[in-house]
Amino acid sequence: MATQLSVNLNAVAMLRNRRDLPWPSVVDLGRIALASGAHGLTVHPRPDQRHTRFSDLPELRALIDDEFPKAEFNIEGYPNSQFLDLVEENAPEQVTLVPDDPSQPTSDHGWNFVEHAEFLTPIVKRLKASGMRVSLFADPDPAGLDAARATGADRVELYTGPYGASHQDSGQAAKELERLAKTAEAAIALGLDVNAGHDLTVANLKPLVGRIPAIAEVSIGHGLTADALEYGMAETVRRFLRSCKG
């Protein structure tokens, strides 16, 4: 089965938030993405609401429930009490837990699973008890994946930032791709499914999926939104879906 595409709407929300106006509409562009074949939508509601607002969540939940019942909602963030309340109120199919400091501009590293296992385990249990799939943000390093599995999580999401950052250095990109592949293989051997995300583009997604065809889902926001300014959201989603086939 082809790798599934979840469209991250944070960059759309950030553009909207530049003005006290309701456009571009996060819901409307989410609708276009799903109608064009995206498997789901992703948001990262940070505490300062600098892009996705808390008020966006019930509207996106309703969009999926009312118009695209086979699609999935993925909410990612640092699991403080406010975040956990948000996800329980909006019941996403998947929750992706990231170790972000609230001041970070974007996610830029995975969990230290050994160090944070005691913190993560009851949170994973709580979310799964509510019927949500749980994915943990992971660096491209097999070390500690057994501790990630022991938390009860269903998946890890491979942080592909270093791979994306090597877009002008094919040799480095190849090295980063192998790091990702070895981590994915180790995760799968432990019984974890694998997602991936960060700085993925049409160009680098195809070799990623070609090398790691077992990737269940990619979550893509910045590069996809940038392309949508040129090609439109519908055509951009179709372009990324073609790359998802490896």
The 3-state DSSP composition of the chain as helix, strand, coil percent (nearest 5) reads 50, 15, 35
- Reported residue count of the chain is 246
The owner of tokens 């439109």 is 232
Q: Which residues make beta-bridge pairs with 136? A: 97, 156
DSSP for residue 37 = T
Task: Report, as residue numbers or ranges, the catalytic residues.
Answer: 44, 76, 198
**CB contact at 8 A, 210 and 246:** yes
CATH 3.10.20.70 fits 4-243, yes or no: no
| pLDDT tens, N- to C-terminus, the chain (246 residues) | 789 999 999 999 999 999 999 999 999 999 999 999 999 999 999 999 999 999 999 999 999 999 999 999 999 999 999 999 999 999 999 999 999 766 655 656 799 999 999 999 999 999 999 999 999 999 999 999 999 999 999 999 999 999 999 999 999 999 999 999 999 999 999 999 999 999 999 999 999 999 999 999 999 999 999 999 999 999 999 999 999 998
**CB contact at 8 A, 66 and 73:** no
pTM above 0.85, yes or no: yes
**3-state DSSP assignment of residue 220:** strand
